[in-house]
Amino acid sequence: MIVKIKSSILNEKKVSFDYNDILTTTKGVTLLKRLQTMGDLIYIISAQYNQKFLEEKGKELGIPQSRVFATGSNKAKVEKVLELKIQTHYDNNSDVVNQLPGIGQLYHP
């Protein structure tokens, strides 16, 4: 039995964004929306503690609660990115980016 899979699923890429100084900027939100229209699966993964606040921002950007994470620390943020097998993570913290070789992208507002 041959199962057909939509090509959009095959091209889907997991991309995450830190919140502070990225999704608080027009440039960051524009990048996120562009990647959404390209079919990427978008996550918010932040070192913030306030999950509810991030979920509200996610809802505003069309990201379901299941893909929004307030980790409470940069260490936990890096672990979550790796656990979820994120392919690209945008962050303004060079320490976080350096801990994610090949994944982390330093974001400049």
Q: Residue 109 has what pLDDT?
A: 78
Task: Give domain status of residue 9, yes or no.
Answer: no
- In the DSSP assignment, the letter for residue 67 is G
- Would you say residue 24 lies in a domain? yes
Task: Give the pLDDT confidence score for residue 32 in this predicted structure.
Answer: 97
- Radius of gyration of the chain measured on its C-alpha atoms: 14
Within-domain flag for 46: yes
Q: Are 62 and 34 in contact (CB under 8 A)?
A: no
Residue 6 is predicted with a pLDDT of: 46
Instruction: Answer whether 96's CB lies under 8 Å from 75's CB.
Output: no
Averages of pLDDT over runs of 10 residues in the chain (109 residues) are 47 91 96 95 97 96 97 98 98 98 93
Domain carrying residue 25:
15-106
Q: Which residues of 10-39 are buried (b: 16+ CB within 10 A; e: fewer)?
A: eeeebbbbbbeebbeeeebbebbeebeeee
What pLDDT is attached to residue 108?
A: 86
